[in-house]
Amino acid sequence: MEEMTFGTMIAVAEEMFGRGLFWAMVAVSAIVTLAYIYVLIRDRSVNWRKFLLAQLSMPVGAVAAVVFVQAVTDSSLRDIGGPIDVILLLGIALVGAIGLAIVVYTAQSLIRGKSSVKDGVR
């Protein structure tokens, strides 16, 4: 790999996860992102009670993301060889934590409907 381009990064991700799983993850991410933007536009504010519950889910998302990547790839935690591996693992955990928080907040907002004044502080 002589140059790190966007196409190269997509090719590496397809190789790691498989073409079908990678593009399924991209599609699910796009759907969740659109739903999150819809909720933010619809509510016109953040419901802090829902936000707190979403933040409490973050450790679960971090662990789930690391376990998912370990299950999909041919590596394990024993294969961590240097600082870049640790940084990558922490990055995966961070993305998983933030991703699950967004999913939880969006799901709460879509299921419970638009927040009202009595539901929480606006």
Give the chain's domain count: 1
What is the reported pTM?
0.81
98 lies in some domain? yes
50 lies in some domain? yes
CA distance to 29, 47, 85, 117, per residue, from 35 (Å) = 10, 16, 33, 22
78 lies in some domain? yes
Angle at 28 between CA 86 and CA 64, to 5 degrees: 35
Domain that holds residue 25: 6-119
**Backbone phi and psi for residue 5, each to the nearest 5 degrees, phi listed first:** -110, 170
User: What does the pLDDT profile of the chain (122 residues) look like in tens digits?
Assistant: 577 888 888 988 888 888 999 999 999 999 999 999 999 999 888 888 999 999 999 999 999 999 999 888 887 788 888 888 889 899 999 999 999 999 999 999 999 877 555 555 54
14 SS3 class: helix
Amino acid at 11: A
1 lies in some domain? no
